[in-house]
């Protein structure tokens, strides 16, 4: 069942309208086809100019959602609107034009930059894809400016990826995302493969760039502490669906899943953190979703209604939450 309401905002840069993505696979060589609902009827607005975090356990559909927003893959159902335009309705030229306005920074700077590229080639790659022609002098000037924007010396333009640290490479990844002056950047775990001290520098850089350039971020992360620090709105996903949208990092968590996730993020002792985070029961398979609430097997609040009726995402508890028994 689609989510009927998911905190509509007055000026969304992205609007997801009951968006779904299914993947089909065959069990065994001659087995029957099985359909996985990686994203299952998500309705969501991404406010312009903010930092919207998307959190949830591995496999809940965060990256698939990000790829749908960027139209790196078509949805199986529903609509993705960018600045009011349905991306599915655009022809190739118009889609390419819209794509200039949305970019992505990937988790792993080690594999996201072609080892044969100099840093100048790497930061200017989106211009080549978009067939923007620059003279040699213009290209050098543009690359130097982009590197400076992310705190790197212009002299690094002639270096290759193996000559840079992980943090420097992620700065190059960010510079590349800025090359076409986008409005929206999807950050898919941008600090997950970096040392903690470098993570902080990258987050500071991202915050600074957003303020200077008026960017909108969609920030995908496992790191709840970081999400609460960096994001002004937090979308919590569970098994392909949005279960709660926190309008601010400090908003009370109403969904039992969100509450457990958040509590686990703020226990300093890693050993105890695991205990607090432990949720009993298994995550159901995305191939075989239960008819009611997907969280039912792990939820201490679950009732018989939760087993049969999928809770809709409704804003009746101060902000959108999909739970029959929201917490106080």
Ligand X SMILES: Nc1ncnc2c1ncn2[C@@H]1O[C@H](COP(=O)(O)OP(=O)(O)OP(=O)(O)O)[C@@H](O)[C@H]1O
Binding site for ligand X (CB under 6 A): 23, 36, 38, 56, 58-64, 222, 286
Where on the phi/psi map is residue 139: left (φ > 0), alpha (ψ -120 to 50), or beta?
A: alpha
For the bound state, the minimum distance from the C-beta of residue 298 to ligand X, rounded and expressed in Å, comes to 17
Shortest distance (Å) from residue 39 CB to ligand X: 7
Three-class SS state of 235 = strand
Angle, in degrees to the nearest 10, between helices 166-178 and 136-149: 120
Please say which residue, 49 or 59, places its beta carbon nearer to ligand X: 59
Q: Nearest-CA neighbor of 41 among 10, 79, 14, 9?
A: 79
Nearer to ligand X, 46 or 60 (CB): 60
What angle do the packed helices 136-149 and 119-129 form, to 10 degrees? Answer: 110
Residue 39 exposed, middle or buried by CB count within 10 Å (0-12, 13-18, 19+):
buried
Distance CA 77, CA 199 (A): 36
CB of 323: closest distance to ligand X in angstroms? 20
Q: Smaller CB distance to ligand X: residue 113 or 239?
A: 239
The CB-of-54 to ligand X minimum distance in angstroms stands at: 8
Identity of the residue, 63 or 168, whose beta carbon is nearer to ligand X in the bound complex: 63
To ligand X, the closest distance from the beta carbon of 162 in angstroms equals 26
Q: Please, which residue, 62 or 319, has the CB nearer to ligand X?
A: 62
Q: Two tokens at 314?
A: 């409704």
């Amino acid at each position: 069942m689609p989510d009927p309401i998911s905190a509509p905002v007055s000026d969304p840069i992205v609007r997801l309208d009951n968006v779904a993505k299914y993947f089909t696979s065959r069990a065994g060589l001659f087995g029957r086809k099985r359909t996985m609902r990686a994203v299952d009827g998500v309705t969501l607005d991404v406010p312009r100019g903010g930092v919207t975090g998307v959190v949830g356990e591995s496999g809940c559909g965060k990256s698939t959602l990000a790829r749908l927003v960027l139209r790196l893959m078509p949805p199986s159902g529903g609509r993705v609107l960018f600045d009011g335009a349905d991306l599915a309705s655009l022809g190739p030229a118009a889609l390419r034009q819209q794509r200039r306005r949305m970019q992505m920074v990937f988790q792993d700077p080690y594999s996201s930059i072609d080892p044969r590229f100099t840093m100048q080639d790497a930061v200017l790659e989106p211009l080549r894809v978009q067939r923007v022609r620059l003279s040699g002098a213009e290209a050098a000037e543009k690359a130097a400016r982009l590197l400076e924007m992310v705190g790197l010396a212009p002299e690094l333009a002639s270096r290759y990826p193996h000559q840079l640290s992980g943090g420097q490479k992620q700065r190059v990844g960010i510079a590349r995302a800025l090359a076409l002056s986008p409005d929206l950047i999807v950050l898919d775990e941008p600090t997950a493969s970096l040392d903690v001290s470098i993570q902080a520098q990258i987050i500071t850089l991202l915050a600074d760039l957003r303020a200077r350039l008026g960017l909108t971020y969609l920030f995908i992360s496992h790191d709840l502490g970081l999400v609460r620090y960096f994001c002004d709105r937090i979308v919590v996903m569970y098994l392909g669906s949005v279960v709660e949208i926190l309008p601010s990092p400090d908003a009370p968590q109403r969904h039992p899943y969100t509450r457990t996730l958040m509590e686990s993020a703020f226990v300093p002792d890693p050993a105890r953190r695991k205990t607090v985070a432990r949720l009993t029961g298994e995550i159901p398979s995305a191939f075989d979703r239960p008819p009611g609430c997907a969280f039912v097997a792990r939820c201490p609040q679950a009732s018989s209604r939760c087993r049969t009726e999928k809770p809709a995402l409704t804003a009746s508890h101060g902000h959108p939450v999909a739970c029959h028994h929201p917490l106080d």
